Structure 1
């Protein structure tokens, strides 16, 4: 406890160093000013008169530099509002229902003899599901609830259209923005990229204008949501006085793996239906009604390394069935990529006190080498108020919780999102932000850090600053269930009985 108090005192002194020095310096200057004589003032005025040209040039240079800075600096990017898709209740898929879907899919496979089928694969799927951190209220796609399940292109389109159109309709209703006002559109879906593209589908459905700058991002994994935000930000810095619409989703229907390769079966237990639509603006007049200002985006790509490139890979198994294979290197690759990302983000957000400690330990490790085992891990809780860690799975959340030194409440939004909605890929970080708002925790000036990892291998971060006390938007996905959360779930290597903690705000 003493060490914690000392560190807090150190942080306070360094952070408020200027303020602590300001008042003594002001008193000293005031004391000296009071002792100035008339003769001293006469000499000062005389000096100004003899150096009038120099002072005029200095003043003009200062004004010119200030004007140049304000004209050329990037305009702020505001998050007006966003919407997360909430599927209808009849698509709710608990563990038993999901296992029934898996069984029906295997049964409908013409190449499989169910009577002679090895039940160990289904047992493996059930065990993974029970330990995954997912609850019994996640959602599956419409086509897979039928018998036999529909896994065709039409069903996949139906799923994606329901998710994207549902999120966008709610967003437009909440913001009262006319779709014709949208100047930039970015849609990301990693595994499902039909022709016409999903971005073209949005243009057609909502009758967006013909000169819209539209982009469709595919194959970029679960971290593509931040990539889409970063792309929209860059475009908003170029195209003035407009809106950018970002849509993040993933498709389940055609991406259920039906083989027996266990490294490919894991994804079946984690991914569920979900999506988010985000409205960004660079209009100065939108600041007052916007929720957040985008402070930073940091993208890290380690795909130049062969292990990183191949640790998450879509491929065919020995029987020709397509799935996503996870290699044994994924944990190490993810750790290295995340470390590089936060090393880049740290100098942008951390207070001076943490930067000093990091530099000191960095230099000491270089000089002393073996005597210091690890670099100092900065305390990001001094710079960030809320953490939205991609709900890729219980292991992902556990690792980042440990490596960043976070407390259970810091990862509550991530664990609750995983439990309630499962891994919704690139949109999961928006369900997490919506959770924080629904709990009433987002206050004016708070910073929220969204961090996501994905194939390639990539780690991407976005930091938002709340422009007001942010409340949950209408039709929030947590609107009817926030009182049930948080729940006590798996944490680390221990298993706890799942139960509601209704007393915690």
Structure 2
């Protein structure tokens, strides 16, 4: 409706300007009118190609993609664990002979405690039931239970808040990196909500923490092809099956960061949904540097020397992340930055290339392009690094730090907990621009850019509803 009004305004304005110009230049409008009447057939024939081209243009224009609403899973209170409780679980697992049986492995307990205390995670993050009982339950049944509770919890709340009938969904995109059972998670959702037979469903696996933006990009592409429909994007990760019980330090780090979480997002390309939608999608930028061996190998799921599966994080990870981020910034910058920043970036690029190779790369001021930043809550060090590289203020990274503190690293869904935080704080105003940025194995750096269509209030049953009065909190260094 907004685009139609703008088109009508431009049409009337241009027509008026043409008429005034003709009158001012001395052209006799009455003679022109008589000419048109006597040559109506010729003018009509000439108009057909123009009308045809205009119709093709209108039909081929990308349809706006609206974010109607989204929902983040809030785990039940009995799944909350403090650092002290986690360490008690680790010691009990050792006493039960599950891991680190020998005395000389005491350093592994101390290592994990040190990581947890410095991680930026608070005392209320959640782990699944299967990892809170002894013996541990890490089989397929326990893993399915965790994923079903997360996905169905988020979707039930989303359908309840939006009033959308599941039968109206035409597109479904699900991403979960390491847990991909058969039938797929997408099929699990189709079965649970009895989605229609001709639904376009995809299940994305093995794409790491940046897969949430990839899923949005895939849904956007499908919404450009299949008109007048809804798309659901579900982003999650499974913790039950991914607890590492070996002795490799680089693999133990993931135990200290990843927690239960997931998000469901409702997208639409229907014009009538603009009035109630929260955001419109402006851009998605995906960068994949996997052709480089160091990038490809910096975060890998594999077996350790004892045959225990875990995710290895190499020392090249910070360097790879920084390089991939720079490429993403260079691609995104021309799309969003004001002309002054584009010019400064271009001039610095020319100087560095042809005159001063030692010159530092110019980092554009993205605070001029965005009001809000949702940086993947992958860990304290990642948030610190992006805050420094992008020259952001503590307020700009508050949502990321608080999400890490309250919910931990929820993988691809963390950027949605951060957006929910900004809404819950009442900071999202009409016209505000949001940059969601996520990094993941492969190695990938992906961005999505949204604009708020109105002053956004938090949805019912927001994950921050019961604790917003306590945030932000001070995080110990």
Fold shared per TM-score above 0.5? yes
Partner residue in 2 for 1:166? 153
Counterpart for residue 175 of structure 1: 162
What residue is the counterpart of 2:462 in the other structure? 476
SS across alignment from 1:463: strand
Q: C-alpha separation between the residues in 1 aligned to 2:95 and 2:183?
A: 32
C-alpha separation between the residues in 2 aligned to 1:482 and 1:111? Answer: 38
Residues 1:110 and 1:346: Cα distance change in structure 2 (over 3 Å): closer
The one of 69, 88, 92 equivalent to 1:81 is 69
C-alpha displacement at 1:217, in angstroms? 0.7
| SS of structure 2 residue aligned to 1:324 | strand
Decide whether the 8 Å contact of 2:301 with 2:312 is kept in 1: yes
Structure 1 residue aligned with 2:268: 281
Superposition map of 1:37-52 within 5 A = 41=26
User: 3-state DSSP class of the match of 1:41?
Assistant: coil
User: 1:402, 1:176 → 2: CA distance?
Assistant: 42
Q: Is the 8 A contact 1:104 1:148 kept in 2?
A: no
Matched, 1:420 2:406: yes
Q: Flag the 1:206–1:42 CA change in 2: closer, same or farther, 3 A.
A: closer
Is 1:214 aligned to residue 201 of structure 2?
Answer: yes
Q: Is structure 2 residue 56 aligned with structure 1 residue 68?
A: yes
2:356 counterpart SS class: helix
Contact 1:81 1:175 in 2 (8 A): yes
Quote the residue 1:96 is aligned against.
84
1:291 and 2:278 aligned = yes
1 CA distance for matches of 2:416 and 2:426? 16
Q: In structure 2, what is the Cα distance between the partners aligned to 1:466 and 1:139?
A: 31
Which SS does the other structure have where 1:369 is aligned? coil
Counterparts of 1:295-374 in structure 2 under 5 Å?
295-370=282-357, 373-374=359-360
Contact preservation (8 Å) 1:85, 1:163: yes
Q: Could you say which residue in structure 1 is the equivalent of 2:429?
A: 443
Cα distance in 2 for residues equivalent to 1:441 and 1:279: 22
Counterpart in the other structure of 1:401: 387
Kindly indicate whether the alpha-carbon contact (under 8 Å) linking 2:69 and 2:162 is maintained by their aligned counterparts in 1.
Answer: yes
For 2:228 and 2:47, the matched residues in 1 are separated by 32
* 1:376 shift after superposition: 1.5
Q: 1:297 to 1:111 in 2, by over 3 A?
A: closer
CA distance in 2, matches of 1:205, 1:353: 52
> Counterparts of 2:381 and 2:224 in 1: how far apart (Å)?
37
User: When the two structures are superposed, what TM-score results if normalisation uses the length of structure 2?
Assistant: 0.90
Rounded Cα–Cα distance in structure 2 between residues aligned with 1:304 and 1:442 = 39
Distance 2:359 2:246 in 1: 44
Q: How far apart are the structure 1 equivalents of 2:45 and 2:335?
A: 34
| Structure 1 contact 104–149 (Cα < 8 Å) conserved | no
Counterpart-to-counterpart distance in 1, 2:397 and 2:99: 43
Q: Tell me which residue corresponds to 1:132.
A: 119
* Contact kept? 1:185, 1:199, Cα under 8 Å: yes
2:246 aligned partner: 259
Q: Which residue is equivalent to 1:236?
A: 223
| Aligned match of 1:13 | none
Q: Secondary structure at the match of 2:196?
A: coil
Aligned position for 2:174? 187
Structure 2: gaps of 5 or more residues? 1-16
Q: 1:489 — aligned with what?
A: 475
Point out the more displaced range, 96-105 or 343-352.
96-105
1:103 is displaced (CA, Å) by 2.4
SS of match in other structure, 1:489 = coil
Q: In 2, distance between residues paired with 1:143 and 1:88?
A: 14
Matched-pair contact (CA < 8 Å) for 2:100–2:106: no
1:113 aligns with 2:98: no
Q: Are residues 58 and 377 of structure 1, via their aligned partners in 2, closer, same or farther at CA, if it must alter by over 3 Å? A: farther
Aligned residues: 455
Separation in 2, partners of 1:456, 1:164: 25
Give the distance between the partners of 1:49 and 1:299, measured in 2 at CA: 57
- Structure 1 98/373 Cα, relative in aligned 2: closer, same or farther at 3 Å? same
The answer for the alignment partner of 1:383 in structure 2 is 369
Residues 369-397 of structure 1, C-alpha deviations (whole Å, 9 max, x = no match): 24x52122111111111000000000110
Q: Determine helix, strand or coil for the equivalent of 1:226.
A: helix
State which drifts further: 429-438 or 140-149. 140-149
Q: 3-state SS of the aligned residue for 1:295?
A: strand
1:123 to 103, 110, 118: 110
Per-residue deviation at 1:104? Answer: 2.9
Secondary structure of 2:474 counterpart:
coil
**Match of 2:439, SS?**
strand
Distance across 2 between alignment mates of 1:118 and 1:366: 52
User: 5+ unaligned residues in a row in structure 1: which ranges?
Assistant: 1-28, 496-505
The separation in 2 between residues aligned to 1:337 and 1:268, in whole angstroms, is 25
